[in-house]
Amino acid sequence: MQLTETKLKGCFLIEPTVFEDKRGYFLESYNQKNFNDLIGCNVNFVQDNESYSSKGVLRGLHFQKGEFAQAKLVRVIKGKVLDVALDLRKDSATYGEHYSVELSEENKKQLFVPRGFAHGFVVLSETALFAYKCDNFYNKASEGGVIYNDKTLNIDWQLNADELIISEKDLILPTLENLDL
């Protein structure tokens, strides 16, 4: 497994070791001891989530506040997405900066998004099966978000605005400037 810290401290791109032969492939997608050793802290995932979406579906940018903040380990099982992590840690040198990466069934990359970040993705393939682990349980009263098209973030979602499918809830999220953390 290869681990690379992104420009956002504590946010890591993970490339698993893949063993392929004529039968297909095998990879270890998660090993708690190896994972914690590699990132240098103890993360205990307590919930696994999965979503299925069609091309153009944009989910995000979401986060959980306060005691319900979540770290996530995200990956794509089928299809391809552009995955985005946004640093919301006020004391961070990279506050307000984002990192984006293509995650796909072909590259099998994963992204570790630590607590204090917003997260989102857009589906680039016809459909995508997206899976992620969380280190804290979801709490509806603690959910928050940042609008996907905040001009100060300048995120290139790789699709035209008319191709995006966004929930009503995500369309009314605040900008980073108006965010109440």
For tokens 């005691």, the residue is 67
Q: For position 84, what pLDDT does the model report?
A: 98
Q: SS3 of 59, please?
A: strand
For tokens 């696994």, the residue is 48
pLDDT tens per residue, range 84-141: 999 999 999 999 999 999 999 999 999 999 999 999 999 999 999 999 999 999 999 9
- Whole-number Å distance between alpha carbons of 116 and 86: 9
Domains of the chain: 2-171 (2.60.120.10)
User: The pTM is what?
Assistant: 0.95
- Using the predicted structure, report yes or no on whether residue 181 has a pLDDT greater than 80: no
Q: For position 180, what pLDDT does the model report?
A: 82
- Whole-number Å distance between alpha carbons of 98 and 88: 9
Catalytic residues: 62, 132
Residue 176 has which token pair?
């980073």
Between the alpha carbon of residue 26 and those of residues 18, 80, 111, the distances in Å are: 6, 19, 19
pLDDT tens per residue, range 28-50: 999 999 999 999 999 999 999 99
Model confidence at 67, in pLDDT bands (50, 70, 90)?
Answer: very high
